[in-house]
Each structure stands twice: as structure tokens, then as C-alpha cells.
Chain A
């Protein structure tokens, strides 16, 4: 979709209801915020609330509050369900 595919975003299965069943997407963004804006445009069912229900793992580091995170070239970003504590 966008010429230079920089970041691979992989959706948790719990997100597929919002992504028309898409499991992953490559997008040209450098920050989590940009990624969210782009994902919300691409998948209108996604909104800020649903996105906030997930942590993200950026290059295997799970980040609970990713709002201000930026990505490296070719970063792999997983949306992961938030883990409750016991």
C-alpha cells in the first residue's frame, strides 16, 4: 500500500475482529502514534480505546504504555493483549 515498507505490524488474534481478519501489515511509519493513526484510517473499526487495550512488543520488548515509542528501520511490532497481575 505505501511504497517503502518499513515496519511490520502483527496483530493479536483478539484484534482481528477490527482488522477484517488481517493478521499483519507493513507500513511506513516511524512512531507508534503514526502507526495508530494509519491503522485507524486503514481499519475504521479500530479506535483509540481498542488500541489502548493492547500492549505492544517492539523488537521483542513488551511495552505496556507505548504512546511515545518510536520504531527502528524494519522493526517488528506485535500487538499483545495486556496481562493482568496476580
Chain B
């Protein structure tokens, strides 16, 4: 470990019990589907049976006539939207596309797209009413193949979509929505200097975030045009602003109360059900509950992009990388907007190489519109880059960690997208990896080892926090980010540290959209960094006020008052008793009224995070199945506020990446129908698939945060696909020429590759 040690702090860096823990282990905590209102009715969605078709007509009359059916919604109930992207929250959104994804207009663009919805007195009636809605479609040829979609003779998803590129908009309609390029130096010159060049293409399938909790909400409208929403999401302010935009309402007419969220990983940074439930509720005059089933989650919510990534790397014989080139194609699904840009910006970021060129394409197909998935776009591009770097290491007979250390970015290194790094921990993580006992351990027959590193930016964005002090001197800390992985615990630790009061005096809660200031989503690995930063600022504001009040009570100058260990202290020679927070709270009425403090910020100084993996696998040469034997994950987390939850992010991200590498994939038939829309056939890792996941937290403090916090949630999923792929190629004896380049590394593919190698 380097940087600050936990001994400098009293509370942060300890492994406290999470404040919401008891409710979560007893089943008391309310998640999206656990909420009920009197008079509530049930909404269900009619979904497209075709992957690509024109909607000619929708006849809802028979369904509406059924006893128990209260209302029906189609896209006609949604306000008109102008096409075109606009800046919304932390990214760009085209609200016409968004609206079509909520309820289809004119065309259906993937199997399972929402077409209409019914609210009825029971779920069973709602389901049977869906069968009575008659939709007349004109079937079109589905575009499913990422390469085929780009051809000029491919059927088009959007007749008005042309390719946006570095030279402006294209003239002819295309399924390629965007084409971009990033470069520095001169790659051609770089490759001409190289002693060894490796070029290879890696392919990954559509995968799902696989959160265990399906999307769910309850929406209640009233006669004064107010909407109340209870739902689980990665940001209730996001739900409010998207609903307002899609329903052409003012945000002040919508109140969203966050319920506990059962996993998101980026997949709950958008909405599907809430605007539909609002229409159904308004028409029915009743609160409407909507809950997706697992099949709907797979068929109709945003997965992660499939990818084709070609990488070419050139190095000198001493291991210095002199040229890196990548061509990245990401699937956007039915509407433009894959994470192409971050994918391009991350692919080679761990390396100092002076000559780089990265091109990217954002391509639409008749599959669900992708959503963010943990470090969106980065795992796909790291898969290719890190595998090729491992091949280079093998060709040059240089240890792959040594090769990376020779080429690794450090403080002051420029990035391909512009700015230079401040303090970062990639070299520290690589150095720890090289000296880790795992790396020195021997491999048995049929085993292989892979290493890889990964990068994610992390973001800051907007956060608010309020601290209310109770009459008894306890601190209620209100933030506005759904707690997706223990953030209440980290808010409590930072508040305790800042206020100097014991942890059990802090009650962290998540406020609804009307009881705390605006907050951007729980995403971009920002919550502990940015909302934690707002808590620290609110605590500082509170301490200023407490000092003023203490000065009045002590009848001394405010400059003389210090705040030490949770109490106001006067200089010793003045012989004044310290005033505790509890005492100041009791005197609040006499010193100016209740104690409360608020702070908001657009957080800047988000610290990027680098992760390094060492993964060992064993291949069964009879069946081709891959067993993950040992996993060590290292990551620069900055200061780890709650080390256990930092480790948890590292372990969980690694295992999602392992699933992506070995098992997970959307399987489509030629009609564009997903054939494995359940957890039996879309197989996420099970407890029995895995060993323990060893973690090493590197703590290079982020200079942009008072306690040195970096985001930790996303970087962990960046290296494992490349590490596993390299390990499997190693295990079957590929040497410096990887044969397995297409995920998932299913037993059939592994067996084929192994048999070919054996001749």
C-alpha cells in the first residue's frame, strides 16, 4: 500500500456495518416491486413479436371492452418529440428515439419492443387483454449482423439516419450512425520502427447487466396534474427529468421516491415503464403498478454492446511499444448511441505509446437499444488491446507485467483524448501484481495464466447533501443517490470523520426528489466521490455554524473556537468547557434555531482508476470447459472509505467480466428473436463456478477529493475478459498466436481450438 494509511483517520477506512443492513438481511427493505398502494391496479406491456416491421394499425377496442380493463396506452398518448440529440444529464439523448423505445411509433425495431400497454384490476386480466389488442404489421427483414448492417445494400432501420463523422453528416442513409477518429503522433511511422507487429480482431456478443431485480414502479397521478412515482432506479432525479421530458411536463409536477435498487450496473440509468404507467394511471384514475418479468428484462431492456475490435500493436525488441491502432465497432441496438466514444478513449489509455490511432463506428441493428453497462464500451476494447499486448510480450519473450510497466502511463502522461494524468496508480498496481504470490505460483497441466489491465475515467457531476441535527445531537445525513452497493455506509463514514462524532450518531438516508437538492445518477463510479464530497462540504458548513453558536454561548470571539472531536473547544487559558454537538443541539433554540446545513457541488477532480488482473484457468481437454482456478484483482481505489465495499466492487466486477468471457451471450435466431431470455440459458456465474477472488487495494490518493477518494465501481470489469481470454489461449498452448478471439469462450469453441492445435 502507498499513500495515506487508515491510521490518519478515525472512521474512514474502517469496516463498519452498513446502516441499511438489518433491513436488507431480514427482507424488510422495500425494492421496486415491494410497494403497494390502496386501489392500485396492474399494468402490462404488449411487445413486438417481430424484430423489424412497420406498424400499420393498432386496434385496442376489444381489449378496452374487457371487464376489468381500465386503460390502454399507445404512442399516440405520448407527446410529439423532435428528433436530434441533446445534452441531458451526463450524456446525449435523442428524445424521439427514447420515446419510441418507451412505446413504438411507426416501426418496431426489435423483438420485444413495447407497442402498447394495458392497466387492469388484476395482472391476469391485463395479460389476457394484451392478446385482444390487434396490431397490423408489415414485416421487414431484420438487420442482426454488425458487419452486414454496415453494407450499402443492408435494409435500413431509420430512413433519415445518415452517418455523422469527422467531416459532418453523410449524404446517404446508413445503419452506421457515427464514425469517429482519435489520434496522436504518426502510427505509420511508429509501425515502420517496430521490430514486432501483432494484429488481431476480437469479437464479443451482446451481454446483459443481469441485475437480479427486474424493473418495477408504482405511479399515481392526480386531478391537479401531479405525478407520484415509487420505483427503483440508478437515479430518481433521472427518472423525474426523463419522465418530464417524455410526457412534456414540468419536473415540479413529478415527485419520485426511490425504493431500494436490486442491482443496475448501468442498466437502470434509463427508464422504460414509468412514463407508460403514468399514462395508464392518468386514464384509469388509479395508481398503476408495473413489474417486468425476467424475459421482458432480457428482450427489451438495454444490454451491453456487442463488438468487433481490431487492434494492431507494434513494439521494439526491447519491449517499447511504438505504435497502437484500433478499429472499434460497437452495436447500438435499435437506436444510435453505443458507448463508442468512451470505448475509443479507453482502449490504449494504460500505455504511453506516442503513436496511436483509434477509429470507431456506432452501428444500429434490430436488437434492443443498448444501455450503459459498467465502464460502458471499455471492456470490449480492452479485450482486444490487452490480448494483443500479451501476444507481443510472448513474441518478445518479455514478462507481460514487465512489458506493461515499461509502457505504463504515470503522473504527467498525456491521454489520447487530451489532458495529462495527475497522480494515478497503474504502475503501483502492476508492481504489486508482479510481486504477488499468485504471480510466482506454478501452473499445472492444462492450466494457463492471463494478465490484463484496464482503465476507467470516473466522473464527478452534480450532487447535493443536507445534514439535519436532531434535538438530541444526532446527524441525519440526506443524499440523493440510490444506494446500490453500500453508499449509505460510506456517506456515514465520511460524515463521522468530518464532524468528529461517532458513527452510531449518524443516520444516512436517501431523500426523494423533493427533500434534497438535485443529484445526477448513481453511475460513473461517482457516488462516494461526488455525493460524499457534498456531505463533507455540508459538514464543513455545519461546523462553521456550530462554531458561531458556541462562540455566543461561551461569550468569546468566533475565531477562538475550534471544532475538535465533535465538540467546540475554546483555548485552554480561557477556562471554557467544551460544548458537544449534543449540547449545542439542545441550545439550538437559543442560538438561532434548528441546526441544519446543506451543500451542493458540481464535483470536479474525479480520479481515474486502473485495475490489474491475474487469472488462472484450467481447460478440460475432453470437454473444452474452462474452470477458473485463481483470480487476483488489484486496483487503485484512491482512499478506500469502506475497504470491504471497495473489495466487493472489485470482486463483483471481476466476476461479471469472467461471465462475459466464458458464458454470457444473447443468442438470436434468424428472425431476430432472442432464444435464451432466462437465467437458465443466459448463464451468469454461479457460486460453484468460482474460486475466492483475492483483492489488493492500492491507495494512491486522488488529489481532487478531500480524503483522496477515486471511483471504484467500473474499472474492475475492464481487465477480466482479456485476462481470461489470454489464460485460456495459454492453457491450450496457443503460444504467441491466440486462436480463441471470439467470446464467449464456450466449451465447443475451446475444444475446437484445442483440437486444431493438437493437429
Binding site for B on A (CB under 8 A): 10, 12-14, 16-17, 21, 45, 49, 52-53, 57, 60-65, 78-86
Task: Give 7 new A-B contacts, CB below 8 A, not counting A17-B166, A53-B85.
Answer: A10-B418, A12-B417, A17-B168, A79-B418, A80-B417, A80-B418, A83-B90
Contact B345–A84 (Cβ < 8 Å): no
With A13-B183, A64-B460 known as contacts, the answer to whether A86 contacts B372 (CB < 8 A) is yes
Whether B628 sits at the interface, judged by CB under 8 Å, is no
Whether B164 sits at the interface, judged by CB under 8 Å, is yes
Q: How far is the CA of A14 from the CA of B181 in the complex (A)?
A: 8
Contact A53–B87 (Cβ < 8 Å): yes
Contact A85–B419 (Cβ < 8 Å): no
With A64-B602, A83-B524 known as contacts, the answer to whether A49 contacts B345 (CB < 8 A) is no
With A13-B166, A17-B164 known as contacts, the answer to whether A84 contacts B91 (CB < 8 A) is yes
Contact B418–A57 (Cβ < 8 Å): yes
Q: How far is the CA of A45 from the CA of B87 in the complex (A)?
A: 18
Q: Which of B372, B419, B421 has the most CB of A within 10 A?
A: B419
Contact B602–A86 (Cβ < 8 Å): no
Q: How far is the CA of A21 from the CA of B418 in the complex (A)?
A: 17
Chain A residues near B563: list those with CB within 8 A: none
**Which of B193-201, B239-247, B373-381 interfaces with chain A?**
B373-381
Q: How far is the CA of A1 from the CA of B422 in the complex (A)?
A: 33
Q: How far is the CA of A60 from the CA of B86 in the complex (A)?
A: 26
Q: How far is the CA of A78 from the CA of B414 in the complex (A)?
A: 12
Contact A52–B87 (Cβ < 8 Å): yes
**Which listed residue (B166, B417, B524, B604) contacts A85, Cβ 8 A?**
B524
Give A47 Cβ to nearest chain B Cβ, in Å: 12
Q: How far is the CA of A85 from the CA of B167 in the complex (A)?
A: 27
Binding site for A on B (CB under 8 A): 85-87, 90-92, 164-169, 180-183, 265-266, 269, 339, 341-342, 345, 372-376, 417-422, 457, 459-461, 520-521, 523-526, 602, 604-606, 704, 713-714
Cross-chain pairs A/B with CB under 8 angstroms, 6 sampled: A10-B418, A82-B91, A83-B90, A83-B341, A83-B459, A86-B376
Q: How far is the CA of A77 from the CA of B749 in the complex (A)?
A: 48
Chain A residues near B342: list those with CB within 8 A: 81, 83-84
**Which listed residue (B86, B345, B459, B523) contacts A81, Cβ 8 A?**
B345
> Which A residue sits closest to B521, measured CB to CB?
A85
Q: How far is the CA of A13 from the CA of B164 in the complex (A)?
A: 12
Q: How far is the CA of A86 from the CA of B460 in the complex (A)?
A: 13
Contact A61–B166 (Cβ < 8 Å): no
Contact A14–B166 (Cβ < 8 Å): yes
Give A69 Cβ to nearest chain B Cβ, in Å: 10
Chain B residues near A83: list those with CB within 8 A: 90-91, 341-342, 345, 457, 459, 524
Chain A residues near B526: list those with CB within 8 A: 85
**Which listed residue (A16, A45, A62) contacts B606, Cβ 8 A?**
A62
Q: Which of A45, A62, A80, A86 has the most CB of B within 10 A?
A: A86
**Which listed residue (A17, A78, A82) contacts B418, Cβ 8 A?**
A78
Q: Which of A10, A83, A85 has the most CB of B within 10 A?
A: A85
Q: How far is the CA of A49 from the CA of B94 in the complex (A)?
A: 13
Q: Which of A49, A60, A82, A84 has the most CB of B within 10 A?
A: A84
Chain A residues near B606: list those with CB within 8 A: 62
Q: How far is the CA of A86 from the CA of B86 in the complex (A)?
A: 19
Q: How far is the CA of A10 from the CA of B417 in the complex (A)?
A: 10
Q: How far is the CA of A4 from the CA of B342 in the complex (A)?
A: 35
Give A77 Cβ to nearest chain B Cβ, in Å: 9
Contact B266–A85 (Cβ < 8 Å): yes
Q: Which of B90, B164, B265, B372 has the most CB of A within 10 A?
A: B90
Q: How far is the CA of A12 from the CA of B344 in the complex (A)?
A: 12
Q: How far is the CA of A29 from the CA of B656 in the complex (A)?
A: 47
Chain B residues near A62: list those with CB within 8 A: 419, 457, 604, 606
